[in-house]
Chain A
Amino acid sequence: MNRQIHQPNSFLTRRSFFGQGARLTLSGTAVALLAGAGGLATTKAARGGSAENDIVILNSALGAEREAVAAYQVGAESGLLSPGVLALAVQFQGHHKEHADLLAQTIETLGGKPAPAPASYDFPVDQLKSEADVLGFAAGLEKGAVSAYLGAVPLFENRDLSKAAASILGDEAMHWAVLRGAVGLDPVPVAFVT
Chain B
Amino acid sequence: MKRWMQILLLAALGIGLVIAAIVASGSNPMDALSGMLKGSLGTPNAISGTLKETTPLLLAGIAVFLALKAGLFNIGVEGQFTVGACACSVVAIKLPGIVGMLLGILAGIAMGALWAYPAGWIRAYRGGHEVITTIMLNNIAGFLTIALVSGPIKDPSQEGTTTQNIADSSFFPRVADQGPWTVSAALVIGILGAIALGYWLKKAVRGYELRAVGANPTAAAMAGIDAKKIIVRAMVSSGAIGGFAGAIQVLAFEHRFYGNFSPGYGFDALGVALLSGSSAVGLIPSAFLFGILAKGGTAIQVFGVPKGITTVILGVLIVIAAAVRYRKFKAVES
> Are the chains A and B members of one assembly?
no
